């Protein structure tokens, strides 16, 4: 017999277990399978959340390496500034140096034989120049001395312009050489040469412009300053190189006046030619082919220009 305080009967407990009226323990495998199926999905979601939020394994923020901000690029080094022009007594002065001839002239005789107007008449565009007995070209000598001369003058602060640096196959023509000095408004122009006369004729000489007027030629304004330039160079050249004025012209002064050179006739700036020695004489040739002597030659010419310009 059962009263109200009696524990429920087993069948009553089973009947209240769920809507399908099955005991709870008969539905456990289904629940386990459902949870197992959801676990991979939840794990994948958690990993994605960690990646997107930047959280590390301990819950703190930690950006993945792939999304880390790269270090700022190192800026390219600024180009070194161009060296400032040397300051010196010739600052603000312009000197044009004309290396006589061109080594390529020997291969372009048709071009250099063409006549150009030099004011008073017409003359060949340029010539080949001479050589020593061993084949050292005058054009090699003149370019070497001219480049050394440029260095010496720039050290005094001068702006130096060369009419060419053997960067062209031939020339330039004598009228163009004069024009380069004129257009540069040069304070002084020197054309560097070496002579090619008979052996035994030795020494240097300066060629000065004569007073000429005709066509595009008018040297009246440059005759006197050109003479002063020539005298300055002659005295300094003799002292620096130990060479003597020519023994075959100029009466021992080392100065000669000519009216047949287009480079002088067409110049409107103080200008001289210097024949540094005779390439056809063995003793002079030994000096002209010596780098040490060529350095002295360049320095002697530079000292003369500096003196002429009041440096």
pLDDT digits (tens, 9 = 90+) for 146-157: 999 999 999 999
- According to DSSP, the β-strands at 188-195 and 94-99 are parallel
Which pLDDT score is estimated for 87?
Answer: 80
* Fold of the domain built from segment(s) 94-308: Aminopeptidase (3.40.630)
Sequence ranges of the chain with CATH classification 3.40.630.40: 94-308
pTM for this prediction: 0.74
- Average pLDDT in the chain: 83
Q: Each residue of 23-50: pLDDT tens digit?
A: 433 444 444 444 444 445 444 454 444 5
Q: How far apart are CA 244 and CA 230, in angstroms?
A: 15
pLDDT above 90 for 141? yes
Token duo for residue 167 = 């960067």
End-to-end CA distance of the chain, in Å? 144
Alpha helices in the chain (DSSP H): 10-15, 28-53, 109-112, 138-154, 174-183, 223-241, 262-265, 282-288, 291-308
Catalytic residue flag (residue 138): no
Which pLDDT score is estimated for 99?
Answer: 98
Q: How far apart are CA 139 and CA 174, in angstroms?
A: 14
- Band of pLDDT at residue 85, cut at 50, 70 and 90: low
Which pLDDT score is estimated for 81?
Answer: 60
* Residue of 138, 140, 231, 275 with catalytic role: 275
């Amino acid at each position: 017999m059962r009263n109200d305080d009696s524990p429920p009967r087993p069948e009553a407990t089973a009947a209240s277990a769920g809507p399908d009226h099955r005991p709870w323990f008969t539905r456990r495998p289904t629940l386990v399978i459902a949870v197992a199926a959801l676990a991979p999905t939840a794990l994948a979601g958690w990993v994605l959340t960690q990646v997107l939020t930047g959280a590390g394994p301990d819950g703190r923020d930690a950006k993945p390496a792939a999304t880390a901000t790269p270090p700022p690029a190192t800026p390219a080094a600024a180009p070194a500034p161009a060296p400032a022009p040397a300051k010196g007594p010739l600052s603000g002065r312009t000197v044009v140096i004309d290396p006589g001839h061109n080594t390529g002239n020997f291969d372009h005789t048709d071009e250099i034989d063409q006549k150009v107007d030099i004011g008073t008449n017409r003359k060949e565009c340029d010539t080949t120049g001479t050589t020593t007995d061993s084949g050292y070209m005058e054009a090699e000598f003149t370019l070497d001395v001219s480049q050394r001369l440029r260095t010496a003058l720039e050290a005094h602060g001068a702006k130096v312009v060369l009419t060419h640096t053997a960067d062209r196959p031939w020339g330039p023509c004598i009228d163009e050489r004069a024009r380069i000095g004129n257009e540069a408004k040069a304070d002084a122009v020197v054309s560097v040469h070496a002579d090619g006369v008979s052996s035994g004729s030795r020494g240097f000489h300066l060629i000065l412009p004569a007073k000429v007027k005709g066509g595009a030629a008018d040297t009246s304004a440059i005759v006197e300053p050109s003479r002063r330039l020539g005298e300055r160079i002659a005295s300094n050249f003799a002292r620096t190189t130990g060479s003597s004025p020519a023994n075959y012209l100029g009466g021992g002064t080392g100065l000669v006046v000519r009216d047949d050179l287009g480079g002088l006739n067409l110049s409107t700036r103080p200008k001289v030619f210097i024949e540094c020695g005779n390439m056809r004489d063995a003793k002079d040739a030994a000096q002209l082919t010596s780098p040490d002597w060529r350095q002295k030659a360049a320095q002697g010419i530079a000292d003369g220009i500096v003196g002429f310009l009041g440096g």
